[in-house]
Amino acid sequence: MKKVLIAMSVASVALATNYAVAATGNVEFNGTVDTTCSIVVDQNGTLASANGGNVLSSKATGGAAGAATVTTTGYNFNVSVASPTAWVSGPTAADSYVADLTIGATTTAAGTPVSVGLGDTSVDVDLVAAAASGTSFANGSYEAVVVLTCE
């Protein structure tokens, strides 16, 4: 009888130990990512003279497109550029200012929204300014601002 009691005690202790080892708990994690759009201008554009001084263009030899990175955390976002209407500073007013944006191999005119996907999108921005027909831009520094919009 004594041996049976000892055996039962050992068994109950063993069961209790097993129960403690099998205990589990779930630790939950929650987080929210806000829907945002971010633009970082990586590089300003450079205008170069072309067509005998009639055109200042970032696409001309010596010119360079501006570059920006658009980052979104959601879908249904568009980017677009708006052409300037005047120089910020410059000795000769232009007859026309035409901006466009390029994503990958696709170039889109100013005012036309382009859909961007989730994450980073590299956007190149170009500007072509033309003086009145038969005239040239006078020497000096020219500066224009192209607005890049994410919405």
Partner 1 sequence: MMSTRKHFVSAIVAGSLAVALLPQGAAAQSMSPMRGKVQSFTDTFAVKVFPANPYGHRIRVEMRAYDAEFRPIENVKFSADNFTLASNASRTVTVLVPFDGVKEKRVRICTESVPFPGQSANNIKAQICGKFIGERR
Sites of contact with partner 1 (CB under 8 A)? 32, 34-41, 44-45, 66, 68, 71, 74, 77, 88, 125, 127, 143-151
Minimum CB distance to partner 1 smaller for 99 or for 131: 99
Report, in Å, the least distance between residue 149 CB and partner 1: 4
Report, in Å, the least distance between residue 21 CB and partner 1: 40
Q: Are 142 and 90 in contact (CB under 8 A)?
A: yes
Minimum CB distance to partner 1 smaller for 50 or for 64: 64
In order of 70, 78, 117, 130, 135, the CA distances from 114 in angstroms are 12, 5, 10, 25, 35
Residue with tokens 């520094």: 141
Report, in Å, the least distance between residue 111 CB and partner 1: 10
Q: Within a 10 A sphere around the Cβ of 108, how many other Cβ atoms?
A: 16
